[in-house]
Amino acid sequence: MMDRYSQMGVSAALNAWADAGLARDPERECLGGGVSWGTALGGIQTFEDGYRTVYLQRPPGRLSPLSVVLGMNNACASHIAMQLGLAGVCHTYSVACASSSTALGEGFRRVRSGECEVVVAGGSDATLAYSVLRAWQAMRVLADGDETTAVRACRPFHRQRQGLVLGEGGGALILEDWDRATARGARIYAELAGYGANGDHSHLVRPQQQGQVRALRMALADAGMAAAEVDHINAHGTATREGDPIEIAAICEAFGAHAANIAVNATKAAHGHLMGATGALEAIATVLALHHQTVPPTAHLDDPDPACAGVRHVMGAPLTDTPLRAALSNSFAFGGSNAVLAFRRCEAH
């Protein structure tokens, strides 16, 4: 009944809901609960399987009558709403690599405006389909590697970085009105304080520094946060030759001299690029960095590229000696869509 991307997304959402200490009762309609979900490719595996059945099998096979509802991009969000009885807004955002960061930001706005009391926000993608892998390979942005070097293939900010490595999965966060969460004694990991999003109207695949600078500044302004408050940034950091230096230059321009104090890492070196799910996974990593006051290092970064200088790269070992007050999570997508989430540390709840 579900494409792989929906399976992973529903699993993540149910885990997050349980972790938040919320009761799961799909028979009891929750009018103030919503879903804000992101995916880049939706049920691509269902459609690839269908193509194989119709065009490559001899004789052609028969398509499942569920193919459309398995493959549609809003299937995962709908399944989450049905599983949890959430009767509020149920929206899906498809903004390439910024899909789930956009979903988080838009869900945040709905809670802040009072439209929703609680929103399940995040994203999922199952992009390890043959056609998708070949398409990315044709773009020449995937890292090369043989069996001896594959484990270090994704090396953001490294002098010898070669490109990205695809991953897949799902990630979810529960966004809840502060008064409601504190009244019920919820465990609060962090405050989502601001969101900045724009389009850089420049190029379908080439990142633009000024668009990223604007998104960073928009997130700070939305959070009422001074640049000097930010101690950590989870970078988009895909390990492409062009993208990494542009992102670091954008951070340096947005933060000025304070950029040298900001602990920057790129967790894609560990989990790969999950496309539409990446923003949610990296937001979770950012939240947990604030919660545990620990920034994990960028894996495999032992020779930083001088073109990526100007920030405090976390490498080799976790950073634990710097108090973390606020942190940003960056997502910069094909199509020129930029999304930045700003988080503040909360005292233990």
Q: List active site positions.
A: 97, 236, 273
Residues 6+ apart with CB under 8 A from 35: 13, 77, 80, 81, 86, 88, 89, 90, 91, 119, 120, 121
| Closest C-alpha among 16, 42, 97 to residue 330 | 97
Beta-sheet strand order (sheet of 230-234)? 190-199, 337-345, 326-333, 230-234, 263-265, 312-313
Instruction: Please state the length of the chain.
Output: 349
Sequence-ordered strand ranges (E) for 248-324 = 263-265, 312-313
Give the separation between CA 144 and CA 239, rounded to whole angstroms. 12
- What token pair was written down for 237? 């950091």
Give the separation between CA 119 and CA 88, rounded to whole angstroms. 9
CA distances from 288 to 57, 248, 285, 294, 310 (A): 47, 23, 5, 8, 25
